[in-house]
Chains A and B, each alone.
Chain A
Amino acid sequence: MRKLIMVGMVLLLAVFTATASLAGGTIKLAVMEPLSGTFKDIGDRYLEGVQYAAQVLNEQGGINGMQVEVIPVDSELKPAIATRKATKLMIKEGVKYFCGGTGSSVGGAMVALTGKKGGLFYTYGMAAASMTGAKCSKTFFRACANTDTQSYALANWVASQGFTKVFTVAQDYSFGQQATEAFIKKLKELNPKAEIVGKVLHPIGTKDFAPYVSQIINSGAEVVFTSNWGSDLTLLLKQAKPLGLKAKFACYYLNDENAITAVANDEAVVGSVAAEVYMITIPGEANKKFVEGFKKAKGYYPTWLRGKAYLATMFWAEAVKKAGSAKVSDVIKAWEGLTYDGPAGKWVMRACDHQTQQPIWIAPVVAKSPYFKHAYVGEAGMVPASKVDVPCAQTGCKGLAK
């Protein structure tokens, strides 16, 4: 009987030890995305990118031996709901790492939460410049472009093409306003002769773009800058061509195959350009390998959001690797100043504001694409990080390491 008790105790001990080591061998990453409602498609695509990154990391043996567990969380695009769910995960499951790409308001709330409760939040899609500017935080990292850098890249392209008559169209809310302001500011710097012949800020969800298209035609604009997304982008492009607009568009988000499909008229998009930190048409072996691997694993291409989320997560993983532990303070320290050389070029996490310094890729939409039956972006050209950089002193971020 005594022996039996001893064996039982040893067995129990073994079970506890095994469980404990398993718990210690996992690093949990919660993905805060809208996984229901209008923006489900966006959230799903970001999530797929993060999940693939976790798959690759786990196949390579994890991060410092720890397996990455991805926890999808439906933020519903509501800050209060996102933070409540995140708090639950922090308290009940000990989750410390969060990421997300949709909704700067959700991002702002998550930054406040992680700052208060000791977590880390990184984004691969939230573009509000203020998040790494006046509202920067020790616990927030951005591994994508912001409204300044993306607009600067397009301003570089417009200036390099020698266009002097430029029209801007954007959605009338903080994102559209900031994107337009940054574009105009940079363009004036690069080409003082360039003239903004018209500027439109329209309500989100506009259905009829005809009055705006008439304004563009009457202005004699050679090129149209737009930071529009969703139906505001597709309807603008769809309606512009039949109304007789010949000017091409310089867009934030035209490398989205779903947007091009929704326009349903290749002629309306061919020749216009898109700018992003990641495109599947980035030249080089590293990107080719990534695209092939993703396609093989998932059955579809890592376009736009998927690619961005993948790269950002791999960048975060590099920071955890360098830190040598899963402790948030160690990872923060390790990520500051870290360089990640991935499929989209060399990325450096700047310590002064936690904004990644990275090249922006620009590509024109071409009629024939090896990836899709419809038109899609052609080979991407690089705008170096140095050309889209906002100096530390100008970001408005105070209190982070210089």
Chain B
Amino acid sequence: MMPKTKPAYLWAWPLGLALLAALPWILPPYQLRLVTEATIFSLYAVSYNLLLGYAGLLSFGHAMFFGVGAFAAAVVINSMEGVPLFLALAMATALTTLAGLVVGLLLLRVKGTPFALLTLAFNALFYAIAVKWHTVTGGDDGLTVFPSVVNFGLLSLDPGKGPDMYYLTVLVIGLAVAFCCYFTRTAMGQSVLLIRENEERMRFLGYNTNVARLMLFIITGALAGLAGSFYAIFNSFVSLDAISIEMTTKVLLMTFIGGTASFAGPIVGAFFYTYVQDFLSDLTDNWPLIMGTLFILMVLFAPGGLSGLVKSLAARLPGAKDKGSDRDD
């Protein structure tokens, strides 16, 4: 007999989509802005977690892809007047893919601490290029970005308007996050998991683990680049912050706070970080201190992050059954 939960699960989709579509009417403009920002960071954090949570690769350089995507989108939009937004996004993502390929090839055989340190070094290199290449990136002054309106025939969306930017973000970033979710269920995604668990065994089974890791590095870089492009368009501006080590720290915080052990963890982390930062920065100038403390507490006492906490609380509820592993991958 089929379980009776399936029809309810199917109903949740149209309901969820209807809710997403109705948000601009439900939320005040500023709250909608926060949701848009958190959605962009969700993709950034999910892409990071594919590296960290799924492949076990601790990277300190994810902002290099985020920043390349942001600057590339700005440069394309500014230099090609009237360029369609989706073409600009595609070009920026392609460039980030290329950056991921180059860096990935150089990091192919490195793992563990050397991998983490080298990604940090590459991030510093990309940052230095952004500072020095003033004619392209604007250096410390940054770049202003005003993309053109997106036309879907009868419907047109202006990224300069809050609700329109929200719809564009939910559409594109939502699809990208869905792709990430799908990717974790593909043979390639599963092989990444197995490589993390026992790389030697995978090799004995005939897998080229280097290629799998390289592919993952390129894909996550491209996704972070797409998030960066949206970040630039969302703010109508891109500065060196987008490619700084601080931007890597931000994604690290989001991912750890949300939890690396589940696909939804980084999304929870991105929303949590965005809202808590907004709330705390109104109260005190020392909000980074509070965030840092929270991060330490999470690592020490709740390594599964918020999603892990919710799961363990749910497991303690009367009637809850132990469904096995914490990870839902």
Separation of A354 and B317 alpha carbons in the complex (Å)? 65
**Whole-angstrom distance between the alpha carbons of A159 and B197 in the complex?**
71
- The interface residues of chain A lying within 8 Å CB-to-CB of B148 are none
Which of B37, B134, B241, B285 contacts A36 (CB under 8 A)?
Answer: B285
- In the complex, identify which listed stretch (A75-83, A218-226, A309-317) lies at the interface while the others stay far away: A75-83
Closest to A91 in B: B30
- The stretch that binds A, out of B112-120, B171-179, B231-239, B320-328, is B231-239
A173 x B30 contact (CB < 8 A): no
A128 touches B141 (CB 8 A): yes
CA distance A104 to B144 in the complex (A): 12
Q: Are B140 and A79 in contact (CB under 8 A)?
A: no
Contact of A130 among B141, B160, B237, B278 (CB under 8 A): B141
Q: Is A26 an interface residue (CB 8 A)?
A: no
Q: Whole-angstrom distance from the CB of A295 to the nearest CB of chain B?
A: 29
Distance from A114 Cβ to chain B, minimum over Cβ atoms (Å): 10
The chain B residue sitting closest to A177, CB to CB, is B134
Give bound CA distance, A110 to B29, whole Å: 18
Mark out the residues of chain A between 19 and 55 whose CB falls within 8 Å of any chain B CB in the assembled complex: 35-36
Query: Which residues of B have CB within 8 Å of A116?
Result: 160, 236
Question: With an 8 A cutoff between CB atoms, is A109 at the interface?
Answer: yes
Cβ-closest chain B residue relative to A88 = B30
- Report the bound CA distance from A78 to B281 in whole Å: 13
The interface bits of chain A over 111-140 (1 if a CB of B lies within 8 angstroms of the residue's CB, else 0) are 111011000000000001011000100000
Task: Take A36-B286, A78-B241, A81-B281 as given contacts and tell me if A105 and B140 are in contact as well, using a CB distance cutoff of 8 Å.
Answer: yes
The reply to whether A85 and B281 form a contact with Cβ atoms under 8 Å apart is yes
The answer to the question of A74 belonging to the interface, with a C-beta cut-off of 8 Å to chain B, is yes
Cβ of A83 and Cβ of B239 under 8 Å apart?
A: no
Q: In the bound complex, how far is the Cα of B30 from the Cα of A135, in angstroms? A: 27
**Which residues in chain B, 125-184, are within 8 Å of chain A measured between CB atoms?**
131, 134, 138-146, 160
Contact mask for chain A residues 130-165; partner B; CB cutoff 8 A; 1 contact, 0 none: 110001000000000000000000000000000000
Verify if A174 is at the interface (C-beta below 8 Å from B). Answer: yes
Is B240 an interface residue when CB atoms closer than 8 A count as contact? Answer: yes
Q: Within the assembled complex, what's the spacing in Å between the Cα atoms of A131 and B145?
A: 14
> Any chain A CB within 8 A of the CB of B3?
no
A-B contact count (CB 8 A): 81
Docked Cα-Cα span, A80 to B67, in Å, equals 13
Who on chain A is nearest to B143 by CB?
Answer: A108
A84 at the interface (CB under 8 A from B): yes
A231 contacts chain B at the CB level, 8 A cutoff: no
B131 contacts which chain A residues (CB < 8 A)? 173
Tell me if B29 and A108 are in contact (CB < 8 A): no
Cα-based distance from A327 to B281 in the complex (angstroms): 30
Contact residues on A (Cβ < 8 Å of other chain), bracket:
20 to 34
A112/B144 in contact, CB under 8 A: yes
Contacts A80-B241, A81-B281 hold; do A108 and B144 have CB atoms under 8 A apart? yes
Across the interface, A79 reaches (CB within 8 A) one of B142, B285, B286, namely B142
Q: Does A87 make an interface contact (CB < 8 A)?
A: yes
Pair A79/B239 contact, Cβ less than 8 Å: yes
Least distance between A147 CB and chain B CB atoms (Å): 11
Tell me if A109 and B285 are in contact (CB < 8 A).
Answer: no
Known: A87-B30, A112-B236, A113-B236. A105 touches B281 (CB 8 A): no
Residue of A nearest to B274 (CB): A84
How many angstroms from the CA of A116 to the CA of B236 in the assembled complex? 8
Closest to A92 in B: B30
**Interface contact A35-B285, CB-CB below 8 Å:** yes
**At the interface, yes or no: A290 with Cβ under 8 Å from chain B?**
no
Contact A83 B237 (CB under 8 A): yes
Most A C-beta atoms less than 10 A away, residue of B37, B146, B281? B281
Asked whether A253 is an interface residue with its Cβ less than 8 Å from the other chain, the reply is no
A174 with B30, Cβ < 8 A, contacts A109-B237, A109-B239, A130-B141 known = no
A173 CA to B139 CA, complexed, in Å: 7
Residue from B33, B143, B146, B236 whose CB has the most chain A CB atoms within 10 Å: B236
Check: A175 CB closer than 8 A to any chain B CB: yes
Question: Which residue of chain B has the shortest Cβ distance to A35 in the bound complex?
Answer: B285
Docked pose: A372 CA to B130 CA in angstroms: 42
Mark interface residues in B9-51 (1 if CB within 8 Å of A CB, else 0): 0000000000000000000111001000100000000000000
Bound Cα distance from A80 to B131, whole angstroms: 18
Residues of A within 8 A of B33 (CB): 84, 87
What are 5 A-B contacts defined by CB distance under 8 Å? Answer: A83-B237, A88-B30, A109-B235, A109-B236, A116-B236
Task: For the complex of A and B, list the 5 residue pairs with the smallest distance between their C-beta atoms, beginning with the closest.
Answer: A36-B285, A174-B139, A112-B236, A109-B237, A105-B239
Which positions in A face B, CB cutoff 8 Å?
35-36, 74, 76, 78-81, 83-85, 87-88, 91-92, 104-105, 108-109, 111-113, 115-116, 128, 130-131, 135, 173-175, 177
Beyond the given pairs A105-B140, A113-B237, A135-B144, 14 more chain A to chain B contacts, judged by CB atoms under 8 angstroms and listed by A's residue number, are A36-B286, A80-B239, A84-B33, A87-B33, A91-B30, A104-B141, A108-B142, A108-B143, A109-B235, A109-B239, A115-B236, A130-B138, A174-B139, A174-B141
B-side residues, CB < 8 A to A, are 28-30, 33, 37, 131, 134, 138-146, 160, 235-237, 239-241, 278, 281, 285-286
